[in-house]
Structure 1
Amino acid sequence: MANLFSIFEPSSSIFSFSLNWVSTLLGLLFVPYMYWASPSRWSLLWTKITQTLHKEFSALLLPSHLGVSILFISLFSLIVFNNFLGLLPYVFTSSSHMVMTLSLSMPLWVTLMVSGWINHTQHMFAHLVPQGTPSVLMPFMVLIETISNVIRPGTLAVRLAANMIAGHLLLTLLGSTGPSLGSFFIISILVFSQMLLLTLESAVAIIQSYVFAVLSTLYTSEIN
């Protein structure tokens, strides 16, 4: 098991400075040219995606929070760039580590909780007891709602990291069996299955980024 998960350990370094986390910033290299080069099909496609995301997030947010959608679009962009970069060979997958995913979810959750309890204290208390709950069940509902609220940043972080780790582990396990296979037919099947898994992982990279951003948007809409 130690050898299996060693592919996720930071290993590249210069003068004891780890270079693996530098891959998190590689997505910034694809952005600046959009501001000075003539629009290409890729930049127009990305503009269309961001406009669609803005409409989706604005529908979930309250009218007073519409300007916050740019935050969640940026969050989606950061995660999806890192997820796709992690599919490239020899590129460190930072989004598969709890250090990064918790760094994204925890500050956002803490900010929402502090803002909600300071500015909308009565609403936050009322949110602990769903409407129509019998009086006998109210203490249990408060406990359940409190626990579900506290574990939100952890579920966001674990969901993203676990989904990225699972796909990469499966690709690694199948790829490591290739040298031990002697039949050309079996190797061809293995390569084809790897291509299918890579396509699936590309879809997972987009879906998990969208889920992370949408859930963060829903948590924001609950504080008011």
Structure 2
Amino acid sequence: MTTTVNLSRIHFPVTTLGPGRRIGIWFQGCSIRCPGCISMDTWVHGRGATTIDQVVEAISPWLSTADGITISGGEPFDQRKALFELLKRLRARTTAGILVFTGYPWTTISEELPYLPSLIDAIVTGPFDIDEKQTLALRGSDNQELHLMTPLGRAQFERFDRPIDERDRTFDVMFDENGDVWLAGIPARGDFRRLRNILEGEGSTLRISEDTRFPSL
């Protein structure tokens, strides 16, 4: 019997969260809720209920052309059973590199990873820390760590073990059936607010999902 999972959204292609054209899968629900998070809309648990069967069916048309898969959230490790089943199903269908983002520290999840041989090629661990600098690729704050788990992970993601540069200052723009616009990527501090100010200066409005309790940003 397939496992239930709560998802925020899926999208293809995503080009800003790992190399190449990737399938993006965002889990819904987060117990960590880092101050200053850009995705408060993914915090609430219990939304977007579906099944792993339905997720795999939805992304199947993309698997043959995708260069990789990126799983983020929300917090994927808050739904461990669903995450692990999804990883097993994906690995059975593709040899593309799988990258996972988690807000949990490496010490919290590392004991579980040996039981997931070759299912995760690279993983970014650690909570977003608004007081840390942001100078490293694929990371929202410098306390976060990039772990290369497999030979494929090292081949594909070692290039991201470097300082951030202009290649990383891009976003994928997604539209859903409700007309909402989603941005995929890792913004610099205050990027969303600057975008909102620009649009409002032109007479438009923009509602952002960023945790805005920190006006100094």
Normalised TM-score (structure 1): 0.27
Normalised TM-score (structure 2): 0.28
Larger Rg belongs to = 1
The structure with the greater share of residues assigned to strand is 2
Q: Which has the higher contact order (CA 8 A, sep 6+)?
A: 1
The structure with the greater share of residues assigned to helix is 1
